[in-house]
Amino acid sequence: MDLIKEIDKRGKRVNGSIHNLMPIGRPDELYRAMRYLFDAGGKRLRPATLILATEAVGGNPDSVIPAATAVELVHNFTLIHDDIMDQDELRRGLPSVHVKWGLSGAILAGDTLYSKAFHILSQCKTDPVHMVECLTVMSMTCIEICEGQWMDISFEKRKHVPEEEYMEMVEKKTAVLYAASAKLGAILGGSTQEEADALWDYGRLAGVGFQIFDDVLDLVTPEDVLGKMRGSDLREGKQTLIAIHARENNVELDVFGKRNSTKAEIDHALKTLEDSGSIDYALTTARNFVAEGKAKLDILPDTEAKDILLALADYMIERKF
């Protein structure tokens, strides 16, 4: 199986849907700002998860394209606002939305994407009970994302953050959107409640693994591949699992919270974290979450879509960027 090809096949359907369901409107610069990150690329992992979940429960993937589009809109809304809060000037190798359109323009673009996501989700053809359930899942997911982001920001002001709190933050900030994608696909595909709950857990657990691994990639991936400044989490003083493990093992990181850290200083910090076992600890934890998430799919019949979902979970902790 060519996993990237399978993801791309479903992602292209969402790309076309974005242009059809979110045409350039007025004011035209607002819509250009909204569509900027879509045009810059992206893997479309969340919409692919939704479509695959529908296929895995025997549903019609054509019927869930609006829902798949909606979760990608929510994801891009979070990216725009994250870049503002983190003061990141690059995204996918290009200037961030707030760099091109200013803070006010970026906030409005993000807010409109968020609102548009619910409008597009409501265009899925399903019965009223399932639509209300889907809208509830999406709205509660967005609330948790904001709670997780608040926790992430608040951690920067604290010297000690327990691993348990970090895990809660990661689940809310990142994993719940994967969980929602899988569950929405199941609901709209006509699954049982047990299947929908299992797919939620699959997305949640794999999503936690994804974020922990993402924290590793922030350190080890070259900037020309990563598309943004390497080691930004260390520079910003983010309480990642790597940083928490290092602190609990009395590892000194001079670059932690030092925004003007040089490349040489980041390289030295990386070597220190490798030697301390902190990076290996994060990688092992990520793999354990993904393995637990994959086990949740045992409830589903053996299909090509299930095989792809299992491979997608592995990809979460094997990708290069």
Q: What is the pLDDT of residue 321?
A: 65
CB atoms within 10 A of CB 254: 12
Give every residue of the chain whose pLDDT is below 70, as ranges: 224, 226-228, 321
Enter the pTM of the model: 0.91
Q: What is the pLDDT of residue 228?
A: 64
Q: What is the pLDDT of residue 218?
A: 87
Q: What is the pLDDT of residue 56?
A: 98
Using CA atoms, how far residue 85 sits from 66, 76, 147, 157, 320, in Å, is 29, 14, 14, 14, 25
Tell me if 185 sits within 8 A of 51, measured CB to CB.
Answer: yes
Is 321 within a domain? Answer: no
Q: Which domain holds residue 18?
A: 3-315
- Count up the domains in the chain and report the number: 1
Quote the percentage of the chain above a pLDDT of 70.
98
Is 295 within a domain? Answer: yes
Q: What is the pLDDT of residue 224?
A: 66
Is 103 within a domain? Answer: yes
Q: What is the pLDDT of residue 317?
A: 92
Is 180 within a domain? Answer: yes
Is 15 within a domain? Answer: yes
Q: Determine the angle formed by the axes of helices 28-39 and 3-21, rounding to 10 degrees.
A: 180
Max distance between CA atoms of the chain, in angstroms, equals 58
> How many CA atoms lie less than 13 Å away from 36 in the CB half-sphere?
26
Nearest by Cα to 238 from 175, 158, 177: 158
Q: What CATH number does residue 307 fall under?
A: 1.10.600.10
